[in-house]
Amino acid sequence: MDRLVMHVDMDAFFASVEQNDHEEYRGKPLIVGGLAGRGVVSTCSYEARRFGVHSAMPMVRARQLCPQGIFLAGNYRRYAEVSAAIFAIFARYSPVIEPLSIDEAFLDLTGMEYIMGTPIAYARRLKAEIRAETGIVASVGIAPNKFLAKLASDLDKPDGLVIITEENVRQVLDPLPVSRIWGVGRKMNAQLMQMGIRTIGELYGTSYEKLCHHLGEHMARHLYELARGQDKRSVAPRERAKSIGKEVTFTEDLQCAEDAERVLLDLACKVGWRLRKAGEKARTVQLKLRLSQGFKTYTRSRTLTEATCYDEEIYHTACALFRELRIFRGIRLLGVSTAGFDAGAELNLFHDEAKKENLYAAIDKIRAKFGEEGITKAQLLRKDKRK
Ligand code: TTP
Ligand code: MG
């Protein structure tokens, strides 16, 4: 059965919320992001984009390009609130929604023809409803799959509405640079350039054998299919986890605080990594400890003043809870878990903490490559060194 997928993405989301909430900001270049030291731009209004300002640009540079701009640190609680209102509207339009970030989602419209009328009319209604209820302008893409729908929503921003069908797919794809293909980063782009492939049309005209020869079978298949506008991934609704944690049972009981704290550090690092991978920040840290005698289990938790996804904050909290318990022997199990996820945390906004972000980005890159064991804090190695 033919599928029909819609991708909806808000225009200049944070900036639009600000402009909608404050009349005096409307029609003006407005930049939201980290204002301190090495802060970066989260996003900016389309008025500011005309000056060359864009997301992830150092704030210092944005100020040079657009000195007359309005610069705001942002109100993430408010953005999360507007996002929730928008997702509630999505829910009226499809039972199958896959959120991608705070301001975008896939909606599966397959089989909804009778409810929908034409897809274009349905999209117009959705856009109008979002605008009427939240004041935000959305761009929409409609296509037979996720790859094409996401591409379509971006083609005519802001206030876009683009539909890709079997009939116009070549017309739309052929002139686009290959970098528009999901998974083609700077390195792959350069590699394709070397093969004389700049556009999706040129990629389409390249044989599978040639792609295989230069890029390997896996990448070749990926690009071959996407150049043909084929993508089998289904719209997959995701429930947000309620807690993220990790525990370990020991074959031999732990008999000293030092060993226990080393384990807590290891657990905290793993939990931090999972939080960051999920794009979550947690407000509560919980420690679980089980004695081998009678399997008596203790849990203690603490709420932090600010939600975190950082290893050392999780570790220090878990450690403090452990010390307060005053149990240092006969430990059969230790666990660290986190909960109370921040409503706006998925944003991945660490812009006021650029240094920390860089550090963790580096750590996570290694972890993504080598798995959870890829990086080990020095303290974890101490025991092995003593051997
Ligand atoms: P995007 O949808 O990528 O950007 P946007 O909505 O601001 O603009 P566009 O019209 O191009 O869609 O991201 C949504 C929000 O996520 C954005 O408003 C702010 C935040 N964000 C960051 O904090 N940092 C970033 O680097 C990016 C790209 C987005
Ligand atoms: Mg957006």
Structure tokens at 229: 């506008």
Task: Give tens-digit pLDDT for 330-349.
Answer: 999 999 999 998 765 544 44
User: What is the rounded distance in angstroms from the CA atom of residue 288 to the CA atom of residue 358?
Assistant: 31
Q: Count Cβ atoms below 10 Å from residue 313 Cβ, excluding itself.
A: 18
What pLDDT sits at residue 274?
87
pLDDT of residue 102: 87
CA of 82 to the centre of ligand 1 (A): 14
SS3 state at 183: coil
Is residue 276 classed as helix, strand or coil in its secondary structure?
helix
Q: What is the pTM of this model?
A: 0.70
Ligand 1 pocket residue status of 98, Cβ below 6 Å: no
Q: Is residue 164, in this structure, part of any structural domain at all? A: no
d(CA 52, CA 34): 18
Number of domains in the chain: 3
Same domain, 20 and 100: yes
Consult the annotation and say whether 103 binds a ligand. Answer: yes
Three-state DSSP state, 238: coil
Q: Which atom of ligand 1 is nearest to the CA of 14?
A: 18
Residue 223, domain CATH: 1.10.150.20
In this structure, are strands 30-33 and 41-44 parallel, antiparallel, or unpaired?
antiparallel
Residue 133: give the domain boundaries.
1-151
Q: Is 225 a catalytic residue?
A: no
pLDDT of residue 273: 87
Inside any domain, residue 163 = no
pLDDT for 378: 66
Residue nearest to atom 23 of ligand 1 (CA): 42
Q: Which residue in 98, 104, 346, 357 is the catalytic one?
A: 104
| Domain final position from 151, 181, 196 | 151
Same domain, residue pair 211 and 131: no
Whole-number pLDDT of residue 358: 63
Check: CB of residue 71 under 8 Å from CB of residue 57: no
Ligand 1 atom with least separation from CA of 157: 10
Nearest to 289, CA basis, from 248, 252, 348, 251: 248
- 11, 17, 43, 50: residue to mutate for ligand 1 pocket, most atoms within 8 A of CB: 43
11 lines ligand 1 (CB under 6 A): yes
pLDDT digit string, tens, across residues 233-281: 999 887 767 899 999 999 999 999 999 999 999 999 999 988 887 778 8
SS3 content of the chain, % helix, strand, coil (to 5): 50, 20, 30
Give the model's pLDDT for residue 384. Answer: 47
* Beta-bridge partners for 285: 302, 338
pLDDT lower than 70: segments of the chain: 1, 240, 343-358, 361, 365, 368-387
Q: What distance in Å separates the CA atoms of residue 296 and residue 23, rounded to the nearest whole number?
A: 60
